[in-house]
A and B are shown apart, each in its own frame.
Chain A
């Protein structure tokens, strides 16, 4: 039992557990829209783009959250704008915009300024080093994103499911694309230092995929994905605390392990159902369980 309670006695690990819970729930929530819009690499791309924004903010002495947030928002808007051109898909738009933005960061960091960024923390995250300020920013962003999902649930569902005709039904797709870009940028900026540039994409995408494997209802998917993200992150923080492994890595490993288990169990369940139906009817045609598209 003390394994569970010990981390709560220390300030830094208590902060880490709260941050893990919030970051996991936030990424799980946003991940549903990312996966269903077939933009799984936007998390990966935007975190790299925001790395450029973070370096630029540091170079001109602007607050990290403001500078990197504005940079990320602009990058997400550019991705939306580029992918609206029919010849260019969202994946190519993410590739162009985010690598260019990352390159700006690399160019700036190569400049003879004295940067004190910790490359390990930037790449793999350091949730155990979360500050009170960072925790409040994360709490604010989580409340903001949860409010957007709650109050604009039907409109976001429409532009995710059937964007081509959303405008004809009175849902302004451009406005909601812009709102989604803001949500994405705020999510990445508030979780970047905790989860790391290279691992954040997995924490956005995997909980949504796990949830997709167990439900066919959009409402249940949103709640399940947020719950999976939050619980995997908390377990990951515990593992990080006791094994001295970067928190981003442990959280990703826990989500990946859960995905593997759910994948195997749902596959076996579907096969058993198929053989039972085959035995009952001689032959059967089954639509199959829920399926997932990534990328």
Chain B
């Protein structure tokens, strides 16, 4: 039985107009790997801020702590929030993970530098230590900030949209890396818009849209009903060989009539041989579920 590391009790938050979070109660256990999903403005980043303690709830209480007391946490911000022209090298960023250490001189001790080198090497950015942060790929930038977080030896790692703006391979690599860190005992909470990635990689999800919509495994919560409540739009969920694939339904395709009209109007693109004759019906063998 895992003890809770994060507890929200009837938490509400507002930036002035309307509630950003509305009476949220949830518990996340030690060692969990949780994705927070929801539409833009749903309160995902606010939830991370409440967990990190940089924002206080307007009502209710947030408790972050383990059985042994206070939890050491680290935050990886959204890549878009970083000033990439700021004059820092990768190593300088990583060493900032120890910024709060009681040390009077500006330079880092040899032990911290070798630890930073070890972490960077583990994350595959060891060769880039003296490179300016702007001169990195999206995945390398994300790893530099994860390395900074790991310098803090966190028990809880919070990541704000770590898969935003990266290609499929990089996204896979980042989530694989987070999996490894989770296996080492670090509890991880991340926000994302990427439902297919979390469905494939994360063991549990929290769905919020100002209020808590659902919480559980991807199989439990990624249903057309929940997604419809979450996004206010129809979504399709396809199961194939145990994998969940989620897609939205453009309004033009909502009914057969509109779909037929649409496909008549717009020529399809084809490569190579001539296209097969137009076929109605589903021959993919997938199980489709569509929201109301």
Contacts and interface: CB of A to CB of B under 8 A. Distances in A.
A6 interface: no
Contacts of A15: none
A126 to B, nearest CB: 35
Contacts of B101: 154
Contacts of B99: 154-155, 157-158, 166, 169-171
Given A155-B100, A169-B99, A161 B83 contact: yes
Interface stretch (B69-77, B200-208, B226-234): B69-77
Interface string A28-53: 00000000100000000000000000
Given A217-B89, A217-B92, A287 B134 contact: yes
B292 interface: no
Nearest to A160: B86
Contacts of B105: 150-151
B279 interface: no
Contacts of A218: 86-88, 92
Interface residues of A, number: 32
A291 B85 contact: yes
Interface string B101-115: 101111000000000
B96 A167 contact: no
B264 to A, nearest CB: 43
A165 B104 contact: no
B87 A153 contact: no
A169 B15 contact: no
Contacts of B44: none
Nearest to B52: A168
A212 B101 CA distance: 28
B81 interface: yes
A170 B96 contact: no
A287 B99 CA distance: 28
A217 B95 CA distance: 13
Contact of A165 (B54, B86, B87, B134): B54
A268 B90 CA distance: 27
Contacts of B86: 36, 160-161, 218
A25 B97 CA distance: 29
Given A153-B106, A162-B82, A168 B53 contact: yes
Interface in B129-186: 132, 134-135, 152, 158
B54 A216 contact: no
B77 A169 contact: no
A9 interface: no
A293 B85 contact: yes
B96 A290 contact: no
A215 interface: yes
B100 A212 contact: no
B96 A157 contact: yes
Contacts of B77: 162, 164-165
A36 B75 CA distance: 22
Given A150-B106, A155-B100, A169 B87 contact: no
Nearest to A172: B100
Given A157-B96, A158-B96, A167-B53, 14 more contacts: A36-B87, A151-B105, A154-B96, A157-B92, A158-B99, A161-B88, A165-B75, A168-B53, A168-B75, A169-B100, A171-B99, A221-B87, A287-B135, A291-B85
22 contacts: A36-B87, A150-B106, A151-B104, A151-B105, A154-B96, A161-B83, A165-B52, A165-B75, A167-B53, A168-B52, A168-B54, A168-B158, A170-B99, A171-B99, A216-B89, A217-B89, A218-B88, A219-B106, A221-B87, A290-B85, A291-B85, A293-B83
Which 6 residue pairs across A and B have the least CB separation, nearest first?
A170-B100, A153-B106, A168-B52, A216-B132, A154-B99, A165-B75
